[in-house]
Amino acid sequence: MNIFIATIIENKAYLREDECHHCCKVLRYKSGDTLRVIDGNGKMYEGVLETATPKLCVIKIVAEIGKQVEDDRKLHIVIAPTKQIERIEWMIEKCVEVGVNAISFIQCKNSERTVLKHERLIKVIESAVKQSLRLYIPKLNPIIKFNDFIKTQNSGALYIAHCHHNFEKVEYKIALKNQANVTVLIGPEGDFTSDEIVSAQAASYKGISLGNSRLRTETAGLFACQAFKILND
């Protein structure tokens, strides 16, 4: 049975307009049909489609069929978008499947891409949420300048992943374990500059080592996410 993301008000679920079109036009659901909705906040419901138009779909909720508690440990991946956008799209998809709480984008000195289609990435997240049956929708933040980001994000355990050898680093197995709130910065293809690392350190970010392999930007993002999951599972 298909799953849709909806706004729940009392015992009714309202699909977003793009979901309505998908529901009625693409999947041909008709009023009276049973379907599943998630609220993106930990709950899944089964309901009966009452109003079924491409602009408005209203579902009468019949039962709560799934519940997830919010993660007690949260991971925020902060990454410089790759030149090839597909690489970031699949990283987002995989991070959502494995489990991530927030994803932000930063514009760095060596960034080759500074523009992102936010709406498209939201869709990538939502389809991964439906596919993986994760009932919380991770937060996606628009791209901002590296220096602006490190000024604003300064709570929890803060790490910057880079390949420079002349800066101290914490091993990921120590860095990511038993932390309630972790932020990991992942640099662009050309890596962070020394200046960026120094600024991050001044904003109380510590260097983190993700192991011995030289990982691509998007692989590093997913590796940090899976390591956080596995080490705290």
Q: Which residues contact a copy of itself (rule: CB under 8 A)?
A: 90, 93-94, 97-99, 131-134, 173, 211, 213-216, 219, 222-223, 226-227, 229-231, 233
Decide whether 65 or 98 has the Cβ nearer to a copy of itself: 98
Distances (CA, A) of 230 to 14, 177, 220, 224, 233: 36, 9, 15, 10, 5
Decide whether 16 or 130 has the Cβ nearer to a copy of itself: 130
Between helix 118-132 and helix 85-98 the angle, nearest 10°, is 30
Q: For residues 41 and 38, what is the distance between their CA atoms, to the nearest angstrom?
A: 8
* Block residue for tokens 């604003």: 152
Burial of 146 (0-12, 13-18, 19+ CB in 10 A): buried
Reduced to 3 states, what is the DSSP secondary structure of residue 41? strand
Decide whether 89 or 196 has the Cβ nearer to a copy of itself: 89
Taking the complex as a whole, the smallest distance from the CB of residue 30 to a copy of itself amounts, in Å, to 27
Taking the complex as a whole, the smallest distance from the CB of residue 86 to a copy of itself amounts, in Å, to 8
Taking the complex as a whole, the smallest distance from the CB of residue 140 to a copy of itself amounts, in Å, to 18
Decide whether 197 or 222 has the Cβ nearer to a copy of itself: 222
Decide whether 146 or 218 has the Cβ nearer to a copy of itself: 218
The amino acid present at 79, given as its one-letter code, is I
Q: For residues 183 and 64, what is the distance between their CA atoms, to the nearest angstrom?
A: 33
Cα 115 off chain centre by: 18
Taking the complex as a whole, the smallest distance from the CB of residue 58 to a copy of itself amounts, in Å, to 28
How much helix, strand and coil, in percent to the nearest 5, is found in the chain? Answer: 30, 30, 35
Taking the complex as a whole, the smallest distance from the CB of residue 128 to a copy of itself amounts, in Å, to 9
Q: Cβ neighbours of residue 102 under 8 Å, at least 6 residues apart? A: 74, 75, 76, 77, 138, 139, 140, 141
Decide whether 49 or 103 has the Cβ nearer to a copy of itself: 103
Taking the complex as a whole, the smallest distance from the CB of residue 39 to a copy of itself amounts, in Å, to 18
